Amino acid sequence: MSEVAAPVVILVHPQLGENIGAAARAMANFALSELRLVQPRDGWPSFQAVASASGASWIIDGAQVFTTLEEAIADLTYVMATTARRRDQVKPVLTPETAARACVEHMADGQRVGLMFGPERTGLDGDQIALADAVIMAPVNPGFPSLNLAQAVLLIGYEWFKLTGSGSLGRETAIEPAGREGLYLRDTRLATKAELVGFFTRLEEGLDRAGFLRPPEKAPNMIRNLRNLFGRAQLTEQEVRTLHGVLSAFTRYRWGSKGDLS
């Protein structure tokens, strides 16, 4: 697997192997490769973690287990703790987005950065948060603020990975490239202005002949509205040809083959 320099993920007293595996899968989605575990409740290694990782085996295989949180973060210089409560500690409060920027900035200075996540049931306690340099709080529904472990890892991993610029939209295969923002064109192209004008001309002639563009003084505005409508659609050349076929079918039905405007 290709890797980029990334923050370390520390799971403190995780309770279920399934949740560790799901967190590892979320890490893999966003190129977070180093996983540290502090006293996993059900021991380690974990078959359940392997199964839930769904192929992110290199993260599970490389996971390090520590007896204490202090040992797990000993070589790190900047640590952020995820929490739904500040627990009355004076610390910078970051959103997942600003935390991602902090990761990039500190790592650019050569620092080692860690992201700390607490147990599924209780989250990090005050003593654990005291070891962090900042806390991360996500904007959530105040009536139900709890995220499961994998969701929390995924949320912050996603924000961090966006800033690296090394991702792709969706799956890339041998026959289909990864997606990208914008209109997806495959085996076609956008229609040229000449092709659009040709379609507009046929459409307007047909509508005029059918008596749609009435009264005459309103015709120019009606034509502009129609051109704007089709212009916003970003028609491809294939779609313009299809619309020409639609016009041909209507004119044949309305006036017969001799009246076809094609």
| Three-state secondary structure of 69-90 | HHHHCCCCCEEEEECCCCCCCC
Token digits of residue 22: 């799901």
At 147-194, the pLDDT tens digits run 899 999 999 999 999 888 766 656 665 566 555 666 666 777 889 999
Residues, the chain: 262
At 37-70, the pLDDT tens digits run 999 999 999 999 999 999 999 999 999 999 999 9
- The DSSP bridge pattern shows strands 64-66 and 78-82 to be unpaired
At 113-140, the pLDDT tens digits run 999 999 988 899 999 999 999 999 999 8
What is the number of other CB atoms lying within 10 angstroms of the CB of residue 226?
16
Q: What is the pTM of this model?
A: 0.72
